[in-house]
Structure 1
Amino acid sequence: MTTLETGRTVGAGIDRVDAPLKVTGAAHYPNDFSIPGMAHAALVGSTVAAGRIRGFDLSQAQAAPGVLTVITHLTAPQLERGPMTLLGGSPPAPLQDDRILHYGQHIAVVVAESAEQARHAARLVRVEYETEKAVLGIDDPRAQIVENPWGLDTDRGDIDAGFGQADVIVEDTYTTPDNTNNPLGLMATLAAWHGDALTVHDSTQWPHNVRTSLAAIFKVPESGVRVLAPFVGGGFGAGLRVWSHVILTVLAARQVKRPVKLVLTRPEMFTSVGHRPNSVQQIKIGATRAGDLVAIEHHGISSVAMEDDDYEPVSFGSAVAYACPNVLTRDRQARLNIPCPGSMRAPAEGQGNFALECAIDDVAHAVGMDPLEFRLRNYAEEHPLSGLPWSSKALRECYTEGAERFGWSRRNPEPGSMRDGRLLIGYGLAGVSYPFYQVPCQARASVRRDGSAHVRSAATDIGTGTYTVMTQLAAELLGLDVSQVRFDLGDSDMPYSPQAGGSGLTGALGNAVHTACRRLVQEFLDVVAGDAGSPLRGCLLDDVTVGDGRIHRVDDPAQGESYADILARHGLEELSADGRSTPPRSEDLGMAPAGAFGAKFVEVRIDPELGLLRVARVVSAIDGGRILNEKTAASQIIGGTVGGISQAMFEETATDAGTGRIANATFGDYLMPVNADVPDMEVLFLGGPDRATAVGTKGVGEIGLVGMAAAIGNAVFHATGRRIRSLPFTIDQLML
């Protein structure tokens, strides 16, 4: 059976199918839902970073208008910690003892008739602490160091011998700060109990994880927990874990025996739903005068919370980026009195690529070679760790075609040599990749008697276009028009789906939809297998193709019939089929499954007197495998690129060194780019379908951000001759 070869629907840059709902206000986000009799909750956060709670004075809060209850560790039940997940351990359960592990830790929850009453009463809770000196810096000698927690350190060749062969060695330290996920929509949870059954509306990127976790924490059957998230107002990784506020909302609803809704405030978003952890990275690279890499050594240390297991191997990307015979990467974590970190768009690679790609430029400069030529000379044709061929890799084309589109040949290699009046001009580039990630997924597809299709899976769409691309894919696979297909998601009662994160959902879900739709066509062939009146009688799946709502023979397209006719003739209202995808394995493929690759080209302009940095142009050349929708995929790259500009030039979550309080936890203080900071951007998609899976996608959610900090840093060096090794790039660093 032919499926994707015709390309009638897949790849076309159609508008989002959910756009009418969003622009008319008919798309309901978790914060939009309400239930009759609903109460509201507000959180009380710790005002110290380390110590113990000596006591509470709840009298004023409990006497405040509308208050139903105030829950603390003294009245909360013992809760199990959530289960291990694909992304690691769950955060610690809240309100289990008197210990304070970070500033802003949830130490009480107030439930009242209205949100305003709950917030007012929360401010009336008085707490007495026994404080301790907090551990807040990676360099604090009191910090507990966790070595290689997930076993991802690498060591190939002989690193000492490699550096012994080097004519040029570059060695430096790079630092990246905490960044905080800040989706525009505040994270919200609404919980309602019906006996031991639980319904939750939640701002999650993974409904099944919320269901599994809440069932374990509250010791109820998983089958009785339903999690709904049909629309989520952005996530950037903030919705990948079951955070404390979700558990407290469910707990509060059980305590007051009413539905309870909790919406985080913007300052609470900075302490409650994760952040990109800061890092300190030492990188050392050796090369010959001819420009051949002989050794790369990359050590990273990142922060982690006192009792959390989040892990980001910032150095790991250096192990697979280039064809270098001797590579050593090591990652460690320092336990600090900070809120739990979590994934933020392009976790690990967003930090590690900055150090690697800036250092690669410095080595190219030291050997007198163009940075683009140096990268092409050390191109990894095979997977450097396994030695297997990549399932696909068009990075070389990304370099060459991106450079041509950008005009890289106009670059004068001498730092500080290009000007426009008093402005210094710099050209910079970075090679980028994001590792392959795909996990099992399930989907169900149905065709009804009217000829329309209904496809569903418990995935989420965090604005990436999942509704749209899965509608396109199903339409293509079933031979229907997009208008005839309805794709539903965001409900844990639907077939299992992994998280929307890691650039892996489109591949996992797409392959599950692919299997479900093929099986559905087979179901129709099974119905007519013995039907003497059907021109499809006796046909196998490979004997037919689909189009215009019909199944027809490959060897004679006139011989076929519609889904609707088959169902009507056999008295059926619909047929359904389930599909599942499993991640491909290198040993089965004989190839290394490839993630996305790309090259970032950036032009910056700098006013040396004011220290003013502006990004003037960006060209992103991306190998994302098969692109299911050119418009939504380009939007992902553009959005990621803006995030990369933000990481490079603006974002820094500032923690007060004395108290552990986040000092800029508002949109008025936490800097992000505005429209005037975003330049003209061009996106090129290169390469073709990836060979590892049936659908051939590789995911583009993260790859847009990776490399922007390095490309801007390299452009700044070209413009000024000054290498800046700490993010974000600030005015004081740029004034000459």
Structure 2
Amino acid sequence: MTAAGSRVIIGAGLDRVDAPLKVTGGAQYPNDFDYPGMVHAALVRSTVAVGRILAIDAAEARAAAGVLAVITFENAMRLSRGPMTLLGPSPPAPLQNDRILHYGQHIAVVVAATAEQARHAASLVRVRYEDVEALLDIDDPAAPVVENPWRLDTERGDVAAGFAAADVVIDNTYTTPDNTNNPLGLMATVAIWHGDALTVHDSTQWPHNVRTSLATIFNVPESGIRVLAPYVGGAFGAGLRVWPHVILAVLAAREVQRPVKLVLTRPEMFTSVGHRPESVQRLKLGATRAGDLVAVQHEAVSTVAMDDDDYEPVSQCSAVSYACPNTRTRDRQVRLNIPCPGSMRGPAEGQGNFALESAIDELAHELAMDPLELRLRNFAAEHPVSGLPWSSNALRECYTRGAERFGWSRRGPEPGSMRDGHRLVGYGLAGVSYPGYQVPCQARASLNRDGSAFVRSAATDIGTGTYTVMTQLAAELLGLDTGRVRFDLGDSDMPYSPQAGGSGLTGALGNAVHVACRRLVREFLDLVADDAASPLRGARLDEVEVSDGRIHRAGAVGRGESYVDILARHGLEELGADGRSTPPLPEELGMAIAGAFGAKFVEVRIDPDLGLLRVARVVSVIDGGRILNEKTATSQIIGGTVGGIGQALFEDTVTDSGTGRIANATFGDYLVPVNADVPDMEVVFVGEPDRATPVGTKGVGEIGLVGMAAAIANAVHHATGRRVRSLPITIDQLML
């Protein structure tokens, strides 16, 4: 079965189908929902980083105007810890004991008639703590260390022999700080109990995970829980876990037997919904004088909370990015008294790529070789670990096309050799990859008597364009105009979907929609299989095409009939079908599952007297497999690129070394790029549909950010001769 006709739906830059609702204020985010009798919750947070609560005095808070309840560990119901998920263990349930593990930990929740009353009452809760010294420094020898936390350390070949045989060896340490997810929308939860049934509106990237987790935590049937998230105000990974504030909103609603809304403040976002963990990475490269890599050793240490197991295999990128016979990667975690980390756009790769691509640039300088030539010379034509051919890999084309579009040939080889008047000019490059990720997913498609289609799955759209690209995909598969297709999501009562994260949703969901739509067409063919009145009688799926709301025999538009006529003749109001996608297995395909690849080319301009740095141009060339919508995909790369500029130049979550308090937990103090920091950007897509899945996508959510920090740092070195190995790059590092 194929789509017929000249209309181009897939790949076309269709405007977002959800845009009218968003720009007119009709899209309802979790914070927008109100219910009769709804009350509000506010959090009380720890003001110490470690210890125990010796006493809580909530008398004044309970007596305050409008207060319905003050819940602490002393009177909270006993909760179970959430389940193991695809992303690792759930964070600890709140208010279960008197232990304090980090500054800002939720130690009470106040419920009152209004949000203002709840916040005021929360300020009246008095707490006395045990005084204990906190572990806050990644280099603290007293901090517990977890070796090989995810059993993903790798080793191939003889690394020691490789370095011994190398003509050139570089060995340096690179550091990245905590960064904090700062979506525009504040994370919010509205919880309503109906007996033992529960409805939750939540700023989540994964409704089914919220449903499963709350069922486990509160020991209620999963079938009685409904989680709704049709619109989410951004997330960047902050909505991937069921955080304590979600549990507290549900707990509060159960306690007062009324609907409860809890909206985090911006400072609370810094301690409540994860962050990109700090890393210290030692990266050692060995190469021949001709530029062939002979040994790579990448050792990374990252931070994690005392009672958590966040998943950030920072060194993993070095195992698969280049062709090298001798490679070792090692990851460790250091437990500190910090809030639980979590995924932030480009997790693990965002940190690891900075070290790897900076080191590759340093090696090129040591060899007096063009950094582009060095990367091309060590291109991994097959998967370096498995030895299998890639399901797709256009990285070489990313390099060559990007160099042409950027004008890399104009780059002077010597650092400090390019100027524009008083300003130093630098060109930088980074190779980019992000692992392929796909998990099972389900969707349902139905066609109605009026000729419209309804396709749905419990996914979320965090601004990536899921509503739009799935509408396009279903329209093409069913031969309908996009205006005749409604795609819906964000409801845990819909078929199962994994999280919107890891650049895996479009692939998993797209493949499920693909199966559902093909099965739906087959259901119509089964319906007319013995129908003497149908020109499609006896037709198989591979013998038909779809277009203009009709099924017809391939190559013969006149020999077919419309969905509407088939339904009417058989007395049906609608016909539906379910689709399920399963992740492909490399051993079955005989191919290594490829993620996205890309190349980032950056021009910077630096005032040597003031240390003022401006990113002047960025060219991103991306192999994202089949691009379902070039407009939304381009927006993904642009947004990720801006995030990468933030990682490189601005973002640094500063923890006070004495108290554990985050010192810059506001938009006034935590710097992110603004319009003036965003340069001219060009995005080019190359490559072919990926062979591992029927839809052929690879996901582009993360790849836009990965590589930007290294490309900017490499451009800074080219402009100034100064090698910056710690992020963010600051003025004092650039004043010559």
Q: TM-score range by the shorter chain?
A: over 0.9
CA displacement at 1:3 relative to structure 2: 4.5
Secondary structure at the counterpart of residue 728 of structure 1: coil
Distance in 1 between residues matched to 2:360 and 2:319, nearest whole Å: 14
Distance in 1 between residues matched to 2:40 and 2:7, nearest whole Å: 50
Q: Could you say if the C-alpha distance between residues 298 and 6 of structure 1 is closer, same or farther in structure 2, counting changes exceeding 3 Å?
A: farther
**Residues 623-675 of structure 1, C-alpha deviation per residue, up to 9 Å, x if partnerless?**
00000000000000000000000000000000000000000000000001110
What residue number does 1:75 align with?
A: 75
**1:544 and 2:536 aligned:** no
Secondary structure at the counterpart of residue 314 of structure 2: coil
1:395-410, aligned counterparts within 5 Å? 395-410=395-410
What residue number does 1:264 align with?
A: 264
**Residues 492-534 of structure 1, C-alpha deviation per residue, up to 9 Å, x if partnerless?**
0000000000000000000000000000000000110110000
**Residues 389-416 of structure 1, C-alpha deviation per residue, up to 9 Å, x if partnerless?**
0000000000000100000000001000
Secondary structure at the counterpart of residue 357 of structure 1: helix
Distance in 1 between residues matched to 2:391 and 2:572, nearest whole Å: 42
What residue number does 2:229 align with?
A: 229
What residue number does 2:619 align with?
A: 619
**1:579 and 2:579 aligned:** yes
CA displacement at 1:555 relative to structure 2: 4.0
What residue number does 1:686 align with?
A: 686
**Residues 299-334 of structure 1, C-alpha deviation per residue, up to 9 Å, x if partnerless?**
000000000011201100000000000000000000
What residue number does 1:496 align with?
A: 496
**Residues 17-72 of structure 1, C-alpha deviation per residue, up to 9 Å, x if partnerless?**
00000011000000000110001000000000000000011111011000001000
TM-score, normalised via structure 2 length: 1.00
What residue number does 1:672 align with?
A: 672
Distance in 2 between residues matched to 1:493 and 1:632, nearest whole Å: 27
Kept after mapping to 2: 8 A contact 1:73/1:108: yes
What residue number does 1:378 align with?
A: 378
1:302-313, aligned counterparts within 5 Å? 302-313=302-313
CA displacement at 1:368 relative to structure 2: 1.2
The one-letter code sitting in structure 1 at the alignment partner of 2:374 is F
What residue number does 1:567 align with?
A: 567
The one-letter code sitting in structure 2 at the alignment partner of 1:393 is N
Secondary structure at the counterpart of residue 403 of structure 1: helix
CA displacement at 1:556 relative to structure 2: 2.0
1:269-288, aligned counterparts within 5 Å? 269-288=269-288
The one-letter code sitting in structure 1 at the alignment partner of 2:63 is A
1:89-488, aligned counterparts within 5 Å? 89-488=89-488
Secondary structure at the counterpart of residue 330 of structure 2: strand
Kept after mapping to 2: 8 A contact 1:460/1:499: yes
Kept after mapping to 2: 8 A contact 1:467/1:487: yes
Q: Could you say if the C-alpha distance between residues 15 and 144 of structure 1 is closer, same or farther in structure 2, counting changes exceeding 3 Å?
A: same
* Structure 1 runs of 4+ with >6 Å offset: 4-7
Distance in 1 between residues matched to 2:7 and 2:330, nearest whole Å: 44
Distance in 2 between residues matched to 1:488 and 1:636, nearest whole Å: 21
CA displacement at 1:78 relative to structure 2: 1.2
Secondary structure at the counterpart of residue 633 of structure 1: helix
Count of matched residue pairs: 736
Distance in 1 between residues matched to 2:269 and 2:607, nearest whole Å: 35
Kept after mapping to 1: 8 A contact 2:4/2:547: no
Structure 1: give runs of 5+ residues left out of the alignment: none
What residue number does 1:54 align with?
A: 54
Structure 2: give runs of 5+ residues left out of the alignment: none
The one-letter code sitting in structure 2 at the alignment partner of 1:514 is H
Secondary structure at the counterpart of residue 298 of structure 2: strand
| Aligned Cα root-mean-square deviation (Å) | 0.8
What residue number does 1:527 align with?
A: 527
Kept after mapping to 2: 8 A contact 1:7/1:476: no
Distance in 1 between residues matched to 2:674 and 2:367, nearest whole Å: 39
**Residues 547-590 of structure 1, C-alpha deviation per residue, up to 9 Å, x if partnerless?**
00000000422100000010011110000000000000001100
Secondary structure at the counterpart of residue 71 of structure 1: strand
The one-letter code sitting in structure 2 at the alignment partner of 1:247 is I
The one-letter code sitting in structure 2 at the alignment partner of 1:325 is P
What residue number does 2:695 align with?
A: 695
CA displacement at 1:131 relative to structure 2: 1.8
**Residues 138-167 of structure 1, C-alpha deviation per residue, up to 9 Å, x if partnerless?**
111111000111111100000000001100
Distance in 2 between residues matched to 1:311 and 1:588, nearest whole Å: 27
Kept after mapping to 1: 8 A contact 2:3/2:547: no
**Residues 65-103 of structure 1, C-alpha deviation per residue, up to 9 Å, x if partnerless?**
000010000001111000000000000000010000000
Secondary structure at the counterpart of residue 330 of structure 1: strand
CA displacement at 1:2 relative to structure 2: 1.8
Kept after mapping to 2: 8 A contact 1:4/1:477: no
Distance in 1 between residues matched to 2:450 and 2:260, nearest whole Å: 41
Secondary structure at the counterpart of residue 26 of structure 1: coil
**1:660 and 2:660 aligned:** yes
TM-score, normalised via structure 1 length: 1.00
After the TM superposition, which of the residue ranges 481-490 and 147-156 deviates more from structure 2? Answer: 147-156
Kept after mapping to 2: 8 A contact 1:50/1:103: yes
The one-letter code sitting in structure 1 at the alignment partner of 2:281 is Q
**1:716 and 2:716 aligned:** yes
Q: Could you say if the C-alpha distance between residues 26 and 575 of structure 1 is closer, same or farther in structure 2, counting changes exceeding 3 Å?
A: same
Kept after mapping to 1: 8 A contact 2:4/2:479: no
Q: Could you say if the C-alpha distance between residues 129 and 364 of structure 1 is closer, same or farther in structure 2, counting changes exceeding 3 Å?
A: same
Secondary structure at the counterpart of residue 684 of structure 1: strand
Kept after mapping to 1: 8 A contact 2:229/2:460: yes
Secondary structure at the counterpart of residue 150 of structure 2: coil
The one-letter code sitting in structure 1 at the alignment partner of 2:193 is W
Secondary structure at the counterpart of residue 239 of structure 1: coil
Kept after mapping to 1: 8 A contact 2:449/2:567: yes
Distance in 2 between residues matched to 1:528 and 1:570, nearest whole Å: 9
Q: Could you say if the C-alpha distance between residues 225 and 497 of structure 1 is closer, same or farther in structure 2, counting changes exceeding 3 Å?
A: same
Kept after mapping to 1: 8 A contact 2:5/2:547: no
Kept after mapping to 1: 8 A contact 2:4/2:545: no
Distance in 2 between residues matched to 1:715 and 1:149, nearest whole Å: 34
Q: Could you say if the C-alpha distance between residues 289 and 5 of structure 1 is closer, same or farther in structure 2, counting changes exceeding 3 Å?
A: farther
Distance in 2 between residues matched to 1:166 and 1:196, nearest whole Å: 67
1:5-20, aligned counterparts within 5 Å? 8-20=8-20
Kept after mapping to 1: 8 A contact 2:40/2:261: yes
**Residues 260-304 of structure 1, C-alpha deviation per residue, up to 9 Å, x if partnerless?**
000000000000000000000000000010110000000000000
Distance in 2 between residues matched to 1:636 and 1:411, nearest whole Å: 28
Distance in 2 between residues matched to 1:6 and 1:331, nearest whole Å: 52
CA displacement at 1:5 relative to structure 2: 10
What residue number does 1:729 align with?
A: 729
CA displacement at 1:4 relative to structure 2: 9.1
Distance in 1 between residues matched to 2:295 and 2:698, nearest whole Å: 29
Q: Could you say if the C-alpha distance between residues 151 and 495 of structure 1 is closer, same or farther in structure 2, counting changes exceeding 3 Å?
A: same
Distance in 2 between residues matched to 1:84 and 1:409, nearest whole Å: 51
Secondary structure at the counterpart of residue 315 of structure 1: helix
Q: Could you say if the C-alpha distance between residues 564 and 488 of structure 1 is closer, same or farther in structure 2, counting changes exceeding 3 Å?
A: same
Distance in 1 between residues matched to 2:103 and 2:7, nearest whole Å: 53
The one-letter code sitting in structure 1 at the alignment partner of 2:657 is A
The one-letter code sitting in structure 1 at the alignment partner of 2:297 is E
Kept after mapping to 1: 8 A contact 2:602/2:615: yes
The one-letter code sitting in structure 2 at the alignment partner of 1:380 is A
Distance in 2 between residues matched to 1:364 and 1:670, nearest whole Å: 35
The one-letter code sitting in structure 1 at the alignment partner of 2:107 is I
The one-letter code sitting in structure 2 at the alignment partner of 1:280 is V
Kept after mapping to 2: 8 A contact 1:4/1:10: no
Distance in 2 between residues matched to 1:154 and 1:607, nearest whole Å: 43
What residue number does 1:87 align with?
A: 87
